């Protein structure tokens, strides 16, 4: 558990997810795949002023969103309050809900059919843009925390995909052509030749785990969700030449 | 007590933060003579402003700092990516969820000697690595990237951690500095606990009484 394979059962899901034309469709797909009630993506525009004119996409019902805005719940909600100061993902139950105001807020959320079990994934990208992605459920906390233990790395991956979608949505384009390191290029090239991680490790004289890290990193830098996409994109961008080994 | 500090609980532990930056100054600037930026608060750089998480080791009531380390996700700005990229164009640009950077690992030898006289600094360093492994597992981090001096690699080996050297730079200070990756898994954790004679979780636990025994039997 924990170590990602070069390809895995979620490849197809991430592939489809990243091809969806709209961030709201991504949110729906994540919800149905992982049986999660609500997903919210929240990008802070100004560093240090987390709450100022944010970019938010959510499938929360409209009445809850307006209730949240009219009551200025962002000033009370522990998720919004501490989310932008965090580095590590956490369960909502790990947040500080001790104040009276946050208890009232929680009750009001429940009244609007919003579950109070949740998982918060903070994002900081290379350009220091900060976002938080929240996954919410009405499942009991004990069931929810088990579930999160199993799927948290997958949800972190989903959060990164939502962030990429949001950046493209806002700025019209992905970031610049990625700088792959020579090792990442070697690994991708061998994957394109059909080699698995352990063979590549033997060829390059590095561990299988390190091969996976290079592949995962290359995939991330290319903005791809699967190795197939990554190889395709790297080939199109002429970052790798799969025939060079022949 | 080993625990994680993040910006949202910074106000609860102002003295630990102060001490941490001072300790980093003592260790990295004064002892290791690394070319690090200093202010009157101690050794603080731009990455301390990027909302990092810190692994902190203190006494039971969290008033005396024994050790610290800074954790940053490689999907955001990281020290190794920015600083070492030119030196190791090949290797330290790993970027993905699940891969994090651990830097500025240091131990307050004086504070430890006072409170845990039987424990030598090498064992203390190894315990920090074990704590780091626990934190990583908890947050589904499968790989940690770190920088260290060549001699420190022995400590990683001693602790049972699986460290892969990715490259080294000669121009960073008095001695070469290496960058490496540290694999994290349940297997690695088990191996580290056996090597270090620790049979309990360090994270969020009071430091156990049996540590004295383990320290003596290890004689590391």
- CA–CA distance, B28 with B173 (Å, rounded to integer): 10
3-state DSSP percent of chain A in helix, strand and coil, to 5: 55, 15, 35
As a whole number, the mean pLDDT across chain B is 87
| Other C-beta atoms lying within 10 Å of the C-beta of residue B4 | 19
pLDDT at position A3:
41
- CA–CA distance, B2 with B68 (Å, rounded to integer): 9
Write the burial class of residue B149 (CB in 10 Å: 0-12 exposed, 13-18 middle, 19+ buried): middle
3-state DSSP percent of chain B in helix, strand and coil, to 5: 40, 25, 35
Looking up tokens 């091969």 gives: A211
Q: pLDDT confidence of B219, banded at 50, 70, 90?
A: very low
Structural domain count, chain B:
1
Q: Which sign, positive or negative, has the C-alpha torsion B140, B143, B146, B150?
A: positive
As a whole number, the mean pLDDT across chain A is 87
Residue B214 lies in a domain: no
**Among candidate residues A189, A90, A3, A167, the one with its CA nearest the CA of residue B98:** A3
- CA–CA distance, A132 with A115 (Å, rounded to integer): 18
pLDDT at position B91:
58
- CA–CA distance, A116 with A137 (Å, rounded to integer): 7
Task: Please give the residue range of the domain that contains residue B162.
Answer: 2-207
Rounded to a whole number of angstroms, the distance from the CA of A237 to the nearest CA of chain B is: 19
A104: pLDDT strictly greater than 60: yes
pLDDT at position B209:
52
pLDDT: which is higher, A187 or B173: A187
B175 touches A at CB < 8 Å: no
**Which tens digit of pLDDT belongs to each residue from A43-68?**
986 544 444 567 899 999 999 999 99
Q: pLDDT confidence of B142, banded at 50, 70, 90?
A: very high
pLDDT at position B133:
97
Which of left, alpha, beta for A172 (phi over 0: left; psi -120 to 50: alpha)? left
Q: How many distinct helices (H) and strands (E) make up chain A?
A: 10, 5
Mean pLDDT value across residues A159-172: 87
Strand B99-107 and strand B143-148: pairing? Answer: parallel
Q: Compare CB distances from A221 to B10, B95, B139 and report the shortest one's residue.
A: B95
pLDDT at position B86:
61
pLDDT at position B173:
66
Q: What is the ipTM of this complex?
A: 0.83
Mean pLDDT value across residues B66-81: 92
**Among candidate residues B22, B21, B16, B18, the one with its CA nearest the CA of residue B3:** B16
Q: How far is CA B201 from the centre of its chain?
A: 17
Residue B177 lies in a domain: yes
pLDDT at position B170:
73
Rg (CA), chain A: 20
CATH of the domain at B178: 3.40.630.30
Residue B218 lies in a domain: no
B56: pLDDT strictly greater than 60: yes
Q: Compare CB distances from A153 to B89, B98, B162 and report the shortest one's residue.
A: B98
A31: pLDDT strictly greater than 80: yes
Which residues of chain A are within 8 Å of residue B184 when distances are taken between CB atoms? 2
Contact assignment for A123 to B75 by CB distance below 8 Å: yes
**Residue A67 near residue A112, CB atoms below 8 Å:** yes
**Residue B169 near residue B84, CB atoms below 8 Å:** yes
pLDDT at position A48:
46
CATH 3.30.450.80 residue ranges in chain A?
11-171
DSSP-derived secondary structure letter, A92: G
Strand, coil or helix: B139: coil
CB pairs under 8 A between A and B: 114
**Which token pair is A56?**
């938010």
Rounded to a whole number of angstroms, the distance from the CA of A183 to the nearest CA of chain B is: 6
Looking up tokens 């997958």 gives: A154
% chain A with pLDDT above 90: 57
Of all residues in chain B, the one with the smallest CA distance to A217 is B95
B90: pLDDT strictly greater than 90: no
Q: pLDDT confidence of A95, banded at 50, 70, 90?
A: very high
Residue B219 lies in a domain: no
- CA–CA distance, A196 with A191 (Å, rounded to integer): 6
Residue B167 lies in a domain: yes
Of all residues in chain A, the one with the smallest CA distance to B141 is A2
Q: pLDDT confidence of B132, banded at 50, 70, 90?
A: very high
A160: pLDDT strictly greater than 90: yes
Mean pLDDT value across residues B105-127: 94
pLDDT at position A245:
60
Rounded to a whole number of angstroms, the distance from the CA of B199 to the nearest CA of chain A is: 21
% chain B with pLDDT above 90: 59
- CA–CA distance, A95 with A79 (Å, rounded to integer): 7
- CATH fold for the domain made of A182-245: Arc Repressor Mutant, subunit A (1.10.10)
Write the burial class of residue A37 (CB in 10 Å: 0-12 exposed, 13-18 middle, 19+ buried): middle
Q: pLDDT confidence of A97, banded at 50, 70, 90?
A: very high
B121 touches A at CB < 8 Å: no
A87: pLDDT strictly greater than 60: yes
Class of domain A11-171: alpha beta
The residues that bridge with A117 in the sheet, in sequence order, are: A137
pLDDT at position A242:
66
């Amino acid at each position: 558990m924990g170590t990602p394979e070069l390809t895995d059962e979620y490849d197809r899901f991430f592939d489809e997810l990243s091809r969806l034309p709209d961030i709201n469709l991504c949110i729906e797909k994540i919800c149905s795949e992982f049986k999660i009630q609500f997903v919210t993506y929240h990008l802070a525009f100004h560093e240090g002023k987390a709450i100022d004119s944010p970019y938010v996409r959510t499938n929360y019902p409209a009445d809850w969103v307006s209730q949240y805005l009219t009551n200025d719940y962002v000033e009370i909600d522990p998720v919004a309050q501490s989310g932008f100061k965090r580095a590590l993902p956490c369960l909502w139950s790990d947040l500080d809900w001790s104040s009276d105001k946050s208890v009232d807020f929680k009750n009001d959320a429940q009244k609007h059919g919003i579950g109070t079990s949740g998982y918060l994934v903070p994002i900081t990208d290379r350009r220091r843009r900060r976002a938080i992605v929240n996954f919410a459920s009405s499942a009991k906390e004990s069931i929810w925390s088990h579930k999160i233990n199993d799927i948290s790395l997958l949800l972190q991956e989903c959060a990164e995909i939502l962030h990429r979608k949001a950046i493209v949505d806002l700025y019209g384009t992905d970031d610049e052509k990625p700088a792959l390191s020579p090792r990442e290029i070697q690994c991708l090239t061998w994957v394109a030749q059909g080699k698995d991680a352990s063979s590549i490790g033997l060829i390059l004289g590095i561990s299988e785990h390190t091969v996976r890290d290079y592949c995962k990193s290359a995939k991330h830098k290319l903005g791809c969700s699967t190795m197939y996409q990554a190889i395709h994109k790297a080939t199109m961008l002429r970052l790798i030449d799969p025939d060079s080994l022949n | 007590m080993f625990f994680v500090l993040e910006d949202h609980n910074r106000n609860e532990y102002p003295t630990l933060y102060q001490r941490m930056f001072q300790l980093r100054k003592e260790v990295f600037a004064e002892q290791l003579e690394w070319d690090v930026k200093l202010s009157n608060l101690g050794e603080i750089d731009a990455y301390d402003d990027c909302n990092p998480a810190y692994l902190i080791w203190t006494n039971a009531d969290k008033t005396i700092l024994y050790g610290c380390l800074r954790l940053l996700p490689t999907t955001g700005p990281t020290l190794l990516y920015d600083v070492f990229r030119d030196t190791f164009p090949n290797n330290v640009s790993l970027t993905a969820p699940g891969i994090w950077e651990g830097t500025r690992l240091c131990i307050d030898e004086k504070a430890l000697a006072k409170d845990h006289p039987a424990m030598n600094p090498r064992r203390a360093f190894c315990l920090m690595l074990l704590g780091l492994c626990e934190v990583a597992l908890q947050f589904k981090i499968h790989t940690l990237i770190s920088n260290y001096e060549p001699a420190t690699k022995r400590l990683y080996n001693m602790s049972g951690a699986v460290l892969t050297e990715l490259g080294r730079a000669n121009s960073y200070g008095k001695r070469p500095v290496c960058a490496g990756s540290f694999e994290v898994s349940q297997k690695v954790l088990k191996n580290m606990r056996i090597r270090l004679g620790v049979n309990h979780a360090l994270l969020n636990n009071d430091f156990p009484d049996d540590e004295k025994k383990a320290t003596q039997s290890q004689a590391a």
